A and B are shown apart, each in its own frame.
Chain A
Amino acid sequence: MIDNFFEVVGLPGLSMQGFGPLLLMGTWMTIKLSLLSLAVSVILGLIGACAKLSSLAIARLPAQMYTTLIRGVPDLVLMLLIFYSLQTWLTSLTQSLGWNYIEIDPFAAGVITLGFIYGAYFTETFRGAMLSVPKGQREAAVAYGLSRSQRFFLITFPQMMRFALPGIGNNWLVLLKATALVSIIGLADLVKAAQDAGKSTFQLFYFLVLAALIYLVITTLSNLVLRRLARKYSAGSREALQ
Chain B
Amino acid sequence: MIELLQEYWKAFLYTDGTEMTGLAMTLWLLTASIFIGFLGAIPLAIARVSERAYVRWPVQFYTYLFRGTPLYIQLLICYTGIYSIAAVRSQPLLDEFFRDAMNCTILAFALNTCAYTTEIFAGAIRNIPYGELEAAKAYGLNGWRLNAFVVVPSALRRALPYYSNEVILMLHSTSVAFTATIPDILKVARDANSETFLTFQSFGIGALIYLVLSFALVGLFRLAERRWLSFLGPAH
Contact = CB atoms under 8 A, between A and B. Distances in A.
Contact of B73 (A74, A88, A191): A191
B99 to A, nearest CB: 15
A184 to B, nearest CB: 7
A212 interface: yes
A77 B186 contact: yes
11 contacts: A76-B172, A76-B176, A81-B206, A81-B207, A84-B199, A85-B200, A177-B71, A181-B176, A198-B84, A204-B80, A215-B68
A77 B192 CA distance: 14
B80 to A, nearest CB: 5
Q: Which of B65, B76, B85, B186 has the most CB of A within 10 A?
A: B76
A212 B200 contact: no
B43 interface: no
A interface SS class:
helix
Interface in B81-120: 81-82, 84-85
A205 interface: yes
Interface of A: 69, 72-78, 80-81, 84-85, 88, 177-181, 184, 191, 194-195, 198, 202-205, 208-209, 211-212, 215-216, 219-220
B81 A209 contact: yes
Contacts of A77: 175, 185-186, 189, 203, 206-207, 210
B60 interface: no
A85 B203 CA distance: 9
Contacts of A215: 68-70, 73
A179 B70 CA distance: 9
B211 A73 contact: yes
B214 interface: yes
A137 B175 CA distance: 44
B193 interface: yes
Contact of A212 (B73, B175, B199): B73
A203 B204 CA distance: 38
Interface in B168-190: 171-176, 179, 185-186, 189-190
Contacts of B171: 74
Q: Which of B174, B189, B211 has the most CB of A within 10 A?
A: B211
Contacts of B204: 81
Q: Which of B71, B72, B204 has the most CB of A within 10 A?
A: B72
A205 B78 CA distance: 9
Nearest to A178: B70
A119 B35 CA distance: 31
Nearest to B65: A216
B39 interface: no
B73 A211 contact: yes
